[in-house]
Copies of this chain bind each other. A is one copy, B any other.
Amino acid sequence: MSRLQQALSGHAAAVEQMLQNLLPAVAGPRGKVLDAMRYAALFGGKRLRPFLLMETAALFGVPAAQSCRAAAALEMVHCYSLVHDDLPAMDDSELRRGRPTVHKEFGDAVAILAGDGLLTEAFAVLADPACHPDSAVRLDLVAGLAAAAGAGGMVGGQMIDIAPERSGLDLDGIKDLQRLKTGAIIEYACDAGAILGQADENERSALRRYAADLGLAFQIADDLLDVLATPEELGKPTGQDRDLEKATFVGQLGIEAAQAEAGRLVSQARERLDIFVEKADLLRDVAGFVIERRS
């Protein structure tokens, strides 16, 4: 197992355990929403966003036992967005990570509530003193998450993704969509690590730029997987962008140029980390991983 794979699975296990602790099952009629929140958040995927947060925090000496709380909050927000995006009124997806989506398993109403509950709980986790002893740090984490997840970030991006204008977007429009829908949260993942580590502005800025390049490369890789991967590899149907006539990076650039652009962005992302010398090697590795992955 490579150094990166070890770190990925180690961090994923820490976040999984933290999510288990933060989302305990409860008895009685309200228990079902907790069941759905657990179904949505546990047994998760690559946990890329938590990894970015924890590795960025580690640059500044923040131990994983500390950073995995904020990482779990971030993952709750990511999972809430998947639950709501999968709803019949939105993307109407039946499979996610090879399992029925939350609304297929629990019904639409519970899925809406489970998403709402995860989003809300994320802020509770960040505001809790256990997240970080310094209240200014916790407030920065809350403010940053709200900005990244709201109408000026992820929610705004999802709005563009379902808007009638979506199919006719040009390359700049697709970039705007990506920057909001997936980029803002990836950028927040790295910024949150820097906040936890009480990084200086120069360090924070370098990490934000790294994350912006990485996020864009990640989206291009996602578009490529929709064309090149098998449904078995992805755990969900492929060819959806084409079927829905969505404008994508691959559609705009073609497969080869999209692959080249993703590679260029990964090189650039790695260079953003020069100031951290070899301490940032795992962050450099994961940048390559996002465009080489098969799922």
Q: Which residues of A contact B (CB under 8 A)?
A: 28-30, 32-34, 37, 80, 84, 87, 89-90, 107-110, 112-113, 115-117, 119-121, 123-124, 126-128, 135-136, 138-139, 142-143, 145-147, 149-151, 155-160, 162-163, 165-166, 173, 180
Contact = CB atoms under 8 A, between A and B. Distances in A.
Interface of A is mostly: helix
A159 B110 contact: yes
7 smallest CB-CB distances across A and B, nearest first, come from A124-B146, A89-B108, A120-B150, A33-B159, A127-B143, A30-B156, A29-B163
Given A116-B115, A180-B30, A128 B143 contact: yes
Q: Which of A89, A162, A165 has the most CB of B within 10 A?
A: A89
A30 B160 contact: yes
Contact of A84 (B112, B123, B142): B112
B87 A159 contact: no
A233 B136 CA distance: 47
A169 B202 CA distance: 58
Given A30-B163, A163-B32, A112 B112 contact: yes
Given A30-B163, A163-B29, A120 B119 contact: yes
A30 B151 contact: yes
Nearest to A147: B124
Contact of A142 (B112, B119, B127): B127
Given A109-B89, A142-B123, A33 B156 contact: yes
Nearest to A173: B29
Contact of A146 (B37, B115, B127): B127
B139 A112 contact: no
A162 B109 contact: yes
Given A120-B149, A121-B146, A127-B139, 15 more contacts: A29-B163, A33-B151, A87-B109, A109-B162, A110-B162, A113-B155, A117-B150, A119-B120, A120-B146, A123-B145, A124-B143, A127-B143, A135-B136, A135-B139, A139-B142
15 contacts: A29-B166, A29-B173, A30-B157, A30-B159, A33-B155, A90-B112, A110-B159, A113-B159, A117-B155, A121-B150, A124-B146, A126-B142, A127-B142, A138-B139, A139-B142
A155 B34 CA distance: 10
Contact of A139 (B29, B139, B147, B157): B139
A231 B241 CA distance: 46
Contacts of A146: 120-121, 123-124, 127
Q: Which of A29, A33, A108 has the most CB of B within 10 A?
A: A29
A172 to B, nearest CB: 12
Contacts of A110: 159, 162
A151 B108 CA distance: 17
Contacts of A159: 29-30, 32-33, 110, 113
